[in-house]
Structure formats: C-alpha cells, structure tokens
Amino acid sequence: MFASVLGQFGHPFYVAFAWILSGTYALIPNYALAIALLTLVVMVALYPITQRGMRSALKMRVLAPEIEELRAEHTLQPGLPHSHRKDLQQRQQAELMELYKENDISPAGGCLPIVLQFPILIVLYGTIRGLVHQTVVQGVHVADPLYVGHGTKLFNAIAAAHGHLVAFGLNLADSARTPGLEWATRSPFIALVLVAVALAYVQMRRTGIPHARPAAAISPVQRVQSFVPLLVPLVLTVVYLSVPSGVIVYFIASSLIRILQQAVMHRRDPQIRTSLEKLHTQFGSG
C-alpha cells in the first residue's frame, strides 16, 4: 500500500525526470552522459538553495560560540518549577530566533542541500525502474519503458536493448548487489559506489572550514557538525550499494558539479567569503 501511495505521489516527478532524460539522450545517445546532463539541469535549478544553504551553514559556524553562550545563560537547573522551565525555554528559543534573523540565517538551510539528495535519489530510482520496466507478451518478457513517450529516441533504444541501459560496458540498471553477477562484473559497480562516496565526502569537507583549532576549544555545536561529513557518506554507502548504477552516475556528477559550485561561491560570493575569513580568524586564534 505504501509503495502504491509513493508511486502515485512520485509519478509526476518520474515523468519530469524521464522527459529531461529523453531530451538529453536525444542530444547525446549515451545513458551515462545523458544522466550527467540531467544532473546539470537539476543542479542549476537547485543552485539558489545550495547557495543559501552554504551561507547559512557557514554563518552558523561563525555564531557557534555565541549560540553556546546563549544556551549556557538559559541552562535549566535541577528542581526548577515546570512553569519556570517552560518560560526559560521559550526565552532561549526567542533569542535564538532573533540571533538567526539578525544574521539572515535559516537554521535548516545548511542541511537542506543534503536532505534534498534523498528525495532526488528516490525519484531517480523510480524513474530508472520505470524505464527498464518489462511486460509479458505471449509468455515472453518484452521491454516496455514507462514515463517516456513512445517513439522517442530513448524509448526505442531501451526497447531495442531489451531493457538494458548499457554505457561504457556497464548496464546502468544493475547495482553492486544485483544477483548473479560474477566478481569481475560486479567490481566496476562497487568502484562506482566508492567513487560516489569519496566525492560526497570531499564535497562536504569543501566548505572551506579550517580544522586546526584544538579539540578542547571546539564548541559542542561545532563538534556535532564535524561528524556530519563522516555520517552522511556512511549512510550513502549502504544506499548506493543497492540502487541502480544510473543513480550512482547522477550523484557522481552532482558531487563534481557541487564541488565546482562551491569553488565559485568561495571566490565570488561576498557573504561566504566574509564568513570564511571570520572562521579562519577564529580557528587561527584558537
């Protein structure tokens, strides 16, 4: 039932992704390169969110000491009456919101680019599953791609290849865990996963934040934030091992594009440059 509801909800997004992929494949009839072009389209559309997310994340790092001081001022003492505890929590929250507002920070903004990866992963996974869909005709399995118009170059290519999405010798409909693959056939898919995870790690570390400050001088907020670049790649590794390799190609391309975007923002965005300078000063003086 859940899968049915998810399918109904995701159907317009599957169609949209398949439509873009059909267009990119018409330009470059190679599944991997067509997916890379699809990635470029999506990343350009998400650029304002990525930019705002990086601005918020860096500003949060800059303000981490102030945030910790504010929380320390409103520490809940044992035995405090419930009404006083509630009032203290409300005042703390109000002052935090005011601090965020003064500095034009969206508390969830820094996490949003990361969070968006997962619905995109689900949509792309559903799109690829639809493209390699097969139906039974007189007892024979026949490729019947979904979400893409009949007669398009993409539809005809998938149908002619019996539902395979072969690019550079790899069927992008397969994953590292596809049953029946020999080790020599499976190893390139594992290599793709490792490349995707490594790039995800590099992408998250390339926020330009120095790490020379002594561990004792790092606030609890900063300490928690420092674990995020380690945790997310571990989660992605588990997921990437099971999804079609076409999805992995998307995320490899998205990481490369985002690393390029980060480099441009570090040089061109005044807000990000200011935050980075403050962070380097903070850590350098730590």
Q: Looking at per-residue confidence, does 261 or 109 come out higher?
A: 261
As a whole number of angstroms, the distance between CA 71 and CA 206 comes to 29
| pLDDT for residue 36 is more than 60 | yes
Residue 143 sits at φ, ψ, to 5 deg, of -60, 130
Q: Please tell me whether the overall predicted TM-score, pTM, comes out greater than 0.85 for this model.
A: no
Neighbouring-strand partners of residue 211: none
| Cα distances (Å, whole numbers) of residue 9 to 3, 17, 122, 137 | 10, 14, 11, 29
How far, in Å, are 143, 161, 242 from residue 13 at the CA level?
Answer: 21, 25, 21
Q: Which two tokens stand for residue 150?
A: 């009949």
Highest mean pLDDT among 55-64, 80-89, 167-176: 167-176
Q: Which has the minimum average pLDDT: 3-7, 20-24, 57-61, 86-90?
A: 3-7
- Ranked by mean pLDDT, the top range of 19-28, 134-143, 201-210 is 19-28
- 93 or 240: which carries more pLDDT confidence? 240
Residue type, position 53, single letter:
G
Nearest CA to 129 among 109, 147, 153?
Answer: 147
Residue type at position 167: A
Virtual CA dihedral for 76, 228, 175, 164, nearest 10 degrees? 100
Say if residue 21's pLDDT is above 50: yes
* The one-letter amino acid at 29: P
- Does 213 score more than 50 pLDDT? no
